[in-house]
Chain A
Amino acid sequence: MKHIDQKVPTTLCAISTTSSAVNKTGSWRFSRPVFIDSIPPCSYECPAGEDVAGFMYLAANGRFEEAWRLIIKDNPFPAITGRVCFHGCEAKCNRAEHDEAVSINSVERYIGDYGLNHGLTVNNNSAKRGEKVAIVGAGPAGLTASYYLRLWGYHVTIFDSSALPGGLMRYGIPSYRLPKEILDGEISRLRQMGLNFKMGTTVGKDISWNKIDRQFDAVFVAIGAHREATLKVKGIEKKGILNALRFLREVNLGRQPVLGKRVAVIGGGNSAIDCARVSRRFDANVTIIYRRREAKMPANAEEIKMAREEGVQFLFQAVPLEVCGNETVAGLRLQKVALKNANSSDRGQPVPTGETFYIDCDTLILAIGEDVNKEDLPRHITYKRNRVETGHMGRIGDSKFFAGGDIIDTPRTVTHAIASGKRGAVGIDRFLAGLPLGKSSLDPYRLGDSENISFSLTTSTVPFPKRNRTREVVNYSNLNPFYFDRRPRMKTGIIPAEERARSFQDVVISPIEEEVTTEARRCFNCGSCTGCGNCYLFCPDLCVKNDPDGNGYTVDMDYCKGCGICVQECPRGAIKMEFVRE
């Protein structure tokens, strides 16, 4: 009050002497603003539940190590998922309604590579626990479960029949999408955590399930789905017919496959696309034969596009009738099919039209899906639609066995395998602690009504303090889009198709730091306060103040009149009005 409290001797006019601060205008209010932390749709959609808004914020500020540490709370393999994840997060990104979705996957890739290039390791300082856990299968599900259980101090032994860990990430996905050095780098970080790998050991053959049962306090089973389906058509026993997984495994082991000049691949999934793209790299003419339409292919659309650019041809709505040739494959006789009941939600039932035709080929690759090999699994396991039946958190019945990855009922992707590994680890941890494993046990880690769990969004206070978490997902209408100008999405550098088709090098060019920080700045950081100051600046009643604890802002309820301008002007939906009777 230094400008008005002077005692000016005057009889001519009345002079105010008191601050209006004595007038508590908060009593006018019908509703009040509360700061909230809601769930961004990207995180809600991410099977691993990563705090995308958080790592984008850190990356935008060049704080890559912190970004990496935030991601690995939920996903031990950011450099892998940054390459092969099908990024459903981007499909739900609020920015897509503004201009174009944030390139979440590319930023994740950069952060993952940053961790590898800087030799970042996991702080593994949890108290050691006495219990021993066996992990059967070193694919993404098994590795993730072992990562968490080790982090929490358990003795973890991993059994895998292959020579090297990684599962289909090593023996399925070709190196032009996931270079082996990236995979090795990510896995060696787990080795450093003190995991005990027993490679070349097939459980059920080299060591019995009973023995595992006896020697360990809990078991996580994630042996993947590797049983090859086969076709019932005339001539299927001929030479020159390959199975997709076996073919890819050979190539991934660095061996030269026996491949003709004209390859036909049957199937519409990612395996089919990869088989075709690999065959192109061995200079073959390749045609993919799929019984439905292109739009209905289960394979990822970006992969289909890349395959086509690399010269792979497609034949839709056709099924094989007969493999021609004497002893070896020499052409295929096919039948055209029509699709019954095909619409936007139904893929449609292929029905034969009777019209047949012939194509020339000397190699046939069957990529028609894989099943769970029940003979490889313990006998007490039950199945539902050919998948291992599990309860909450992957527990099998009420046994000490838990399951995850491709053998259970979950979409068959690396990221879903990671999610199931994490869920299983939480389950095993609770099981060993004698805690209940009910439906609600995971609630503290779940994002709203999603099945996915997130440690970063539910337990981390970096970078956003998350003082008041809600179970609501923020959508575009909760944001104030005015505060975000329009900026184009970063362009991912792709090696030209002709060059790609000649090599097994990574087909995507790694982004540089500047591209990544620029892209990370496109993120709205939906749902959490970034301290932008709008609410403070626009309050007509001077009641939004710096939080004394340094957590952004607070509202002085003594004076807030409840106008709601702060809520309206918050760019990212981090405040809401609450009607209260006070």
Chain B
Amino acid sequence: MYSLNQRFDNRDIPEEEYMTPGHVACAGCGAALSMRLALKGLGMPTALVIPASCWTVIPGLWPMTSMKVPLFHTAFEATGATISGLKAAYRKRGMDNICVVGWAGDGGTFDIGIQALSAAAERNEDVIYVCYDNEAYMNTGIQRSGGTPIGAWTSTTPAKNPKAVPKKDIEEIMLAHRIPYLATATAAYPGDLIAKFKKARTIKGMRFIHLLSACPAGWKMPENLSVEVMRLAVLSNIFPLYEVENSEIYRQTIIPEEIVPVERYVRLQGRFRHLSDHDIARYQEMIDQRFERLKERFDKTANA
């Protein structure tokens, strides 16, 4: 039995699962779902390196793990270095076919791990670096990070004094390293996400994938809305889905039929509750401006 009348044809999604249930992510966790789908795209053989983050905890307490792939826990700042070393070790042992994937949060990427990441990118290491971005240090208690959006509440940027500066543009930072492949993805668009991981696996050199990953607890919203909110981020151009080859060829992979106002995204989440209509209008302008810049590049590629 199968329905043909839907936007997504899920029949193409690989059936194999590389995780087991019983993991300890919160109910409705976007990061757990992102990993599940990413592994479907990556396939085997794959090895993961995870620094301090929610994902340190999610697989379960030792001696348990929810992973059917090898996972190495590393220090907060060390993901870029560890994946470089692990890949080198595998290569040395004649196991070059193993895809080495770093899987870090926004704190471990935008802030604490950026030096090692930048160095790995500079050396164009043959690895995939994934940043699953839930826009704050969620595991330690929702402290603001370089990935926290402007205006958001966190435990260190209270509602009276929310974050005053915009999110770092991590894509621009990575593209400045002239890496072979960069993509944005989110679990609300599983087909797109899986296709990007599949493609990344076939490319040599440094690949960077930025995943927007909803956190019901930290974003202060009902658990059942995780996918909905990630989808709205895409539909409002807050988190456009695209890929860049050789830091030059830009392609928007999901083009929304109708752009929804950022307000719909913002108003679903308690972390933005204090924002006035005026604040939201300002935010809308910022999002529009950022998307305009990207759009020029999408158009440039499309018209080339």
A residues whose Cβ falls under 8 Å from a Cβ of B: 1-4, 14-25, 28-29, 57, 60-61, 463-464, 482-486, 520-525, 530-534, 536-543, 552, 556, 558-559, 561-565, 567-569, 571, 577
Contacts and interface: CB of A to CB of B under 8 A. Distances in A.
Tell me if B's interface is mostly helix, strand, loop or mixed: loop
B226 A565 contact: yes
B24 interface: yes
B5 A569 contact: no
Interface in B1-29: 1-8, 10-11, 13, 17, 19-29
B187 A538 contact: yes
Contacts of A25: 21-24
A561 B33 CA distance: 13
Contacts of A20: 20-24, 59-60, 64-66
Contact of A564 (B20, B26, B28, B30): B28
9 contacts: A23-B64, A25-B22, A25-B23, A60-B4, A540-B28, A561-B26, A563-B226, A564-B222, A565-B223
A23 B23 CA distance: 7
Interface stretch (B67-75, B139-147, B200-208): B67-75
A485 B10 contact: no
Contact of B68 (A1, A29, A484, A577): A1
B301 interface: no
Interface string B126-159: 0000000000000000000000000000000000
Contacts of B65: 4, 16, 18-20
A568 B60 CA distance: 27
A464 B216 CA distance: 34
Contact of B1 (A15, A530, A559, A561): A530
A568 B228 contact: yes
Interface in B47-74: 59-60, 62-70
A530 B11 CA distance: 13
A28 B27 contact: yes
Contacts of B29: 540
Contacts of B190: 537-538
Given A20-B60, A485-B7, A531-B2, 8 more contacts: A16-B60, A23-B24, A61-B4, A483-B7, A525-B5, A533-B10, A537-B37, A542-B19
B174 to A, nearest CB: 27
Given A483-B8, A538-B187, A556 B1 contact: no
Interface residues of B, number: 53
B45 interface: yes
Contacts of B4: 60-61, 521
B6 A532 contact: yes
A522 B5 contact: yes
Interface of B: 1-8, 10-11, 13, 17, 19-30, 32-33, 36-37, 44-45, 59-60, 62-70, 187, 190, 216, 222-228, 231, 257
Contact of B20 (A14, A21, A568, A571): A21
A538 B21 contact: no
B21 A571 contact: no
Contacts, number: 164
Given A521-B4, A538-B227, A561-B27, A21 B21 contact: yes
A530 B33 CA distance: 23
A542 B20 contact: yes
A484 B3 CA distance: 12
Nearest to B33: A540
Contacts of A530: 1-3
Contacts of A4: 65, 67-70
Given A19-B66, A541-B21, A563 B28 contact: yes
Contacts of A542: 17, 19-21, 36
Contacts of B63: 14-18
B13 A533 contact: yes
A538 B224 CA distance: 11
A537 B13 contact: yes
B21 A16 contact: no
Contacts of B36: 540, 542
Nearest to B17: A542
Given A485-B257, A538-B227, A542-B19, A533 B11 contact: yes
Contacts of A521: 4-5
Contacts of B20: 19-21, 542
A464 B2 CA distance: 11
Contacts of A484: 5-7
A17 B61 CA distance: 11
A536 B14 CA distance: 12
Contact of A482 (B32, B70, B231): B231
- The residue in A57, A523, A543, A568 that gathers the most chain B C-beta atoms within 10 A of its C-beta is A568
Given A538-B33, A542-B36, A561-B27, A571 B66 contact: no
For the complex of A and B, list the 4 residue pairs with the smallest distance between their C-beta atoms, beginning with the closest.
A564-B224, A530-B3, A563-B28, A20-B22
A15 B190 CA distance: 31
A524 B216 CA distance: 29
Contacts of A16: 59-60, 62-65
Most chain B CB inside 10 Å of its own CB: which residue of A17, A540, A541, A569: A540
